[in-house]
Each structure stands twice: as C-alpha cells, then as structure tokens.
C-alpha cells in the first residue's frame, strides 16, 4: 500500500453532484477537499491548465478557479455504456480567503456526516 500523499483529506461528493468547467463542460464531481477536487468528464483536459469551476454541492455553491493536476482515461462504469471516460484532479487556486473558509466549513459538516474517504493515488 502506498502512503497517502494528499495535503488534506477528501470527502465524497453528494450522489449525482455535477459541476462545470470552462463554463460549458459538464463534469461529475467525485470528491472534494479544502485543496482540490476530483471529477470525471467526457474528454481530456491538459494538466497545468487553469479554468473556472462551478458546482452546487448540497448547500454549498462553489465557484473557484482550479488548476488541473492530472487527467487520465479510465474504463466506464459498469452499465454506463461504451466510450472513454476521463478522471481529473485539480487544485483550487483560491482568490479570496472567505471562499476557502466556506469550503472548509462545508467539509467539516459533510465529513462528520458522510465519513471521510481514503484512496491511494495511482501513477
């Protein structure tokens, strides 16, 4: 087992949580931390790119710039049909401390209610 490399624990996103990057590209939010977000999307995006990110997550309207840290093709979920799906990770590029504080508060409530998740990073 690889040691955890994340800077902060992630909390699973609410079921069916969706967001937008580049104002038009819909993503499926998988998990969130105070430092970043992991999501799935239908096409590749380039690591190092910065985009506007918007998501509504059970009581949190999140709008923050993100920097893509990784993106890889993954097999589609069983029963989800054919086609390539991409999983991406991104770090928040906070512009206002108040925005980061709102996410930290939301995570504290969600983490206690939903349980923190641990995952090993691959690659």
Q: Return the CATH number at 44.
A: 2.40.10.220
pLDDT for the residue 117: 38
pLDDT for the residue 6: 56
Domain-embedded: residue 19: yes
Domain-embedded: residue 5: no
Domain-embedded: residue 78: yes
Please tell me the total count of domains within the chain.
1
Per-residue pLDDT tens digits for 84-108? 899 999 999 999 999 999 999 999 9
Residue numbers of the chain with a pLDDT score lower than 50: 1-4, 114-123
Domain-embedded: residue 123: no
pLDDT for the residue 123: 33
Instruction: Give 40-53 as a 3 state SS string.
Output: EECCCCCCCCEEEE
Q: How far apart are the first and last CA of the chain?
A: 13
pTM score, whole prediction: 0.80
- Phi-psi map region of 110: left, alpha, beta (phi>0 left; psi -120 to 50 alpha): alpha
Domain-embedded: residue 107: yes
Domain range for 67 is 10-117
- The span from the CA of 30 to the CA of 12, in Å, is 6
């Amino acid at each position: 087992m690889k040691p955890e490399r994340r800077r902060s624990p992630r909390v699973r996103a609410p079921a069916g949580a969706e967001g937008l990057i580049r104002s038009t590209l819909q993503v499926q939010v998988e998990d969130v931390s105070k430092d970043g977000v992991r999501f799935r999307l239908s096409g590749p995006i380039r690591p190092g790119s910065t985009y506007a990110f918007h998501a509504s997550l059970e009581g949190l309207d999140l709008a923050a710039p993100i920097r893509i840290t990784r993106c890889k093709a993954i097999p589609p979920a069983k029963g989800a049909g054919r086609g390539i799906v991409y999983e991406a990770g991104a770090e928040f590029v906070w512009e206002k401390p108040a925005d980061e504080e709102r996410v930290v508060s939301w995570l504290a409530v969600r983490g206690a209610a939903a349980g923190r998740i641990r995952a090993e990073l691959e690659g």
